[in-house]
Structure 1
C-alpha cells in the first residue's frame, strides 16, 4: 500500500519519469502495420474512385479502433448513432490505469472520456467539422475532455510540415484555441504522418501529449515525431549551448 501511495504522489507531482509510462499505457496492436500499409496504398492513388474513398473511410475507422483499444485501462469502447450525432468512437475507463493515462494527457477524472472522429478526405479538415465536434463535446458528451480528429491531411489553419513558423491563427486552429479557453476541453488533430508512427509501443501517448501541450504553447510548428524523445526548439545562440552539454 505504501508503494502504491508513493507512486500516486509521484504521478501527481509531474515527475519526469512519467515519460517512461508511455510504453505501458499504449501497446500497439500487431495488426496495425497491415492496415496502415493498406492506407498508404490508398494515399498514393492520384484519382481514387468513389468506392475507393468509401473503403478508405472504413479502413481509417478500423485503424482508429486498433489504436485506441491499445490504451491501458480502456473499459468502454463504442461506435454508434445516438439520439443526435453519430460517434465514430467513444472510449473511456474507470480504473487506476485509466486514471494514470488521464494524468499523462492532462485530463481531469470528471472529463475522462475520449471521442474520436475519423476523416479520410484528401483535403484538410474544414472549420465546420471542427465546430461540430466542439458542439458535441460541449452539449452532448459532457464527460468527454479530449476530442481527437484522425485525418489524412490535417486541419485548416494548423502548421504545415516543413513550413516556416506560424505567427497567426485562423480557421480550425483558432476555433481549437477559443474552445479550449472557454471550456478547458481539448481537441487535437492527427494526420497521416502521425499515424505511420503509431506501430511502436508508447507512441500514441507521446504524440497526444505533445499536441496537447502545444495547445497552450502555440509554438507555430508541427509537433515533433514520437521517436524524438526530446523536443528542442531554441534559437541558434541558445541551441549551441544546449548541444555542447549533450
Structure 2
C-alpha cells in the first residue's frame, strides 16, 4: 500500500533528526568533492610558476567544472556562447537535492541557477568585469540565476585581503557587490586561489559559499575564515575571546 503524503513528510523529518543525532552534516552530502581537484590545482600552480597563462586559464576552468559538478542535484552544467554573453559555466537543477542546495545558499525558489566566471588573471578582478556579471544576472538571467560566483586567482578589488588589517570602508568591486545585492537581492561572491585549496573535501564548498554569502550582510571587513579551521571564524575583542 502506498504511503500518504503525511507519512512521507513525517519520514523525511524523522530522517533529518537521525542525521542530526548522529552528528552527520548535510553539507557533506550536498557537496561530494571530486578526487581529481587536488591534482588539477597542482597543475595550475605549475602553470602559474612557469608563466603559462593560457594553460592556467584552461586549468582554472577545468577546476571550476570539477568543483561545481560535485553539488548534489545538478542536472544541467553548461558552458556556451549565447546570443549575448559568453557563459563560463551555468549550473542548475530542479529536483529535491538541488532544492536543499538552494536553501543552504539562501537562494529564492525561482532563482536557483548559479552562474560562474573563471578569471585566471594575476591582477585582482576589476570593477568592469564585476559590473558585467551584474548586468548578466539582472538582464539575461533575470528569472533564473540567484547566485553569481567569480573564481579568480587573486580576488577582486575592494575586498578584504588576507593578513591585512580590518577593512573599515568599501570601494570598487566590494561596493558594487553590496549595491547590486541591495537593489536586486541577488548575490555575487568571489573565490580566490586560496579558497580553491579547501574544496577537495566533502562539504567544504557549501560551507565556504555560506560564509561568503553571510559576510555580504555582516560586512566584517575581514577575509572569509578558513573552512578547515573553525576557530578562524571567531571574531571577538580580546576581553571576550579569552573566554572561549
Gap regions ≥5 residues in structure 1: 10-14
Q: CA RMSD in A?
A: 1.9
**d(CA) in 1 for partners of 2:103, 2:74:** 14
How many residues are aligned here? 232
Residue in structure 2 matched with residue 196 of structure 1 by the alignment: 197
Match of 1:63, SS?
Answer: helix
Say whether the 8 Å CA contact 1:18–1:104 is kept in structure 2: no
Residue in structure 2 matched with residue 213 of structure 1 by the alignment: 214
Cα shift readout 1:138-164 (whole Å, capped 9, x = no counterpart)? 000121000000000000000000000
Residue in structure 2 matched with residue 12 of structure 1 by the alignment: none
Alpha-carbon offset, residue 40 of structure 1: 1.3
Say whether the 8 Å CA contact 1:73–1:95 is kept in structure 2: yes
The structure 1 residue matched to 2:47, chosen from 42, 48, 70, is 42
Matches within 5 A, 1:73-84: 73-84=73-84
Cα shift readout 1:167-191 (whole Å, capped 9, x = no counterpart)? 0000000000000000000000000
**d(CA) in 1 for partners of 2:140, 2:14:** 37
Runs of 4+ in 1 over 4 A off after TM superposition: 5-9
Match of 1:79, SS?
Answer: strand
**d(CA) in 1 for partners of 2:132, 2:24:** 33
Residue in structure 2 matched with residue 238 of structure 1 by the alignment: 240
Cα shift readout 1:172-219 (whole Å, capped 9, x = no counterpart)? 000000000000000000000000111111111111100000000000
The structure 2 residue matched to 1:27, chosen from 25, 32, 37, is 32
Pair 1:101 & 2:105 matched: no
**d(CA) in 2 for partners of 1:35, 1:66:** 9
TM-score of the superposed pair, with normalisation by structure 2:
0.91
Say whether the 8 Å CA contact 1:91–1:115 is kept in structure 2: yes
Alpha-carbon offset, residue 55 of structure 1: 1.4
Alpha-carbon offset, residue 227 of structure 1: 1.0
The structure 2 residue matched to 1:4, chosen from 12, 33, 37, is 12
Residue in structure 2 matched with residue 140 of structure 1 by the alignment: 140
Alpha-carbon offset, residue 19 of structure 1: 8.7
Cα shift readout 1:90-139 (whole Å, capped 9, x = no counterpart)? 00111111111111111111110000000000000000000000000000
Residue in structure 1 matched with residue 3 of structure 2 by the alignment: none
Alpha-carbon offset, residue 22 of structure 1: 1.2
**d(CA) in 1 for partners of 2:23, 2:173:** 30
Alpha-carbon offset, residue 6 of structure 1: 5.6
Matches within 5 A, 1:138-177: 138-142=138-142, 143-177=144-178
Residue in structure 1 matched with residue 5 of structure 2 by the alignment: none
